[in-house]
Amino acid sequence: MATRPRRALLVVSVVLLVSLIAGLAVGAAVISPRAIALALLDRLPLVSLHSGLQPNEEGIVFQLRVPRVLLAAVVGGLLALAGAGYQGVFRNPLADPYLLGAAAGAGLTVTLVVVFLGGDAGVAAVPVAAFAGAVGGVALAYALGRTAGRAGGTATLVLAGVAVTSFLTAIQTFVQQLKVDELQRIYSWILGDVGGGWEQLRMIAPYAVVSTVVMLLHGRLLDVLSVGDEEAVSLGLHATRVRFAVLLAASLATASAVAVSGLIAFVGIVVPHVVRRLAGWSYRVVLPLSFLGGAAFLVLADTVARTVLAPAELPIGVVTAFVGAPFFVAVLRMTRRVET
């Protein structure tokens, strides 16, 4: 690995470690990071250490904070990985699961399942429904963006995604009104929440593993695609097949995240851009570092959400929007400057 990507890996790894420690130690009850580290090591086989944690503190750490931090890390990693993948597929630096309609599509189908199925059947159908909605949302945005041809520039796809997102969100709002007694739960889910615990982690684990592995295996192929379809074909690469595989994997990653955490915006655009600044443009490096960076970003965002208005809790989507909205404007300005 070249010096620049190696340095970027070190930076991202340190930030992730700090964010995990902060997520476990900070909260309504502040717990010593050293004691938490000893308690975690004590859970390893053949290791016996005295952490000094009281029983209630151990309950807070292992029953509440550990699953929450892990879920935030997985969701953030999936959203950032999906954003990098969409950007590679569409060769558009503004592509993002939220802005492309993937998150809105997944949100609509999950809302339909919650409202009209409910119960155990609804819970089992959530990941599949979210995946179908994510793929459908991206397909609609892409089809709408294609109607403008190449004249619209790189922002055309994003504008189409915004239109699709608004349309799907309007349908979702209408559906919510049909089930007023579920409104509060759906509304909380829409604003983002990673407090689902071990059950939610187990539910999305297989989908997260499959989508992550497929995306990482396509990093080199996305590098080839970035030089142009003609050059890729001359090298024996089936461009359409690669794009379809990455698109499905990115949509599965988005659906997995949305199914357990709701609609959390801007992770998929903030993290990959920061990673490119640190490590360069090769997707073999950008994809894994985006996953690690997304994990760190959302764990930190969740820590802020839990503490800034303590004992009340701020929706995590509000925190990411505070960071992501100005960042998106800056990226949009840079993109337009490059095009002109």
- Angle, helices 239-261/66-90, rounded to nearest 10 degrees: 150
Contacts of residue 24, Cβ cutoff 8 Å, sequence gap at least 6: 31, 33, 36, 61, 65, 66, 69
Instruction: Kindly report the pTM of this predicted structure.
Output: 0.90
| Domain ranges within the chain, ordered by starting residue | 3-339
Q: Label residues 123-144 b or e (16+ Cβ within 10 Å = b).
A: eebbbebbbbbbbbbbbbbbeb
Structure tokens at 78: 């999936």
* Cβ–Cβ < 8 Å for 97, 268: yes
Q: What is the pLDDT of residues 215-245, one digit of tens each?
A: 999 999 999 988 877 787 787 888 889 989 9
Residue-level pLDDT at 90: 87
Q: What is the pLDDT of residues 84-135, one digit of tens each?
A: 999 998 888 888 888 888 989 998 998 888 788 766 656 678 888 889 999 9
For domain 3-339, give the fold.
Answer: ABC transporter involved in vitamin B12 uptake, BtuC (1.10.3470)
Structure tokens at 156: 């055309």
* Cβ–Cβ < 8 Å for 81, 254: no
Residues lower than pLDDT 50 in the chain: 151, 340
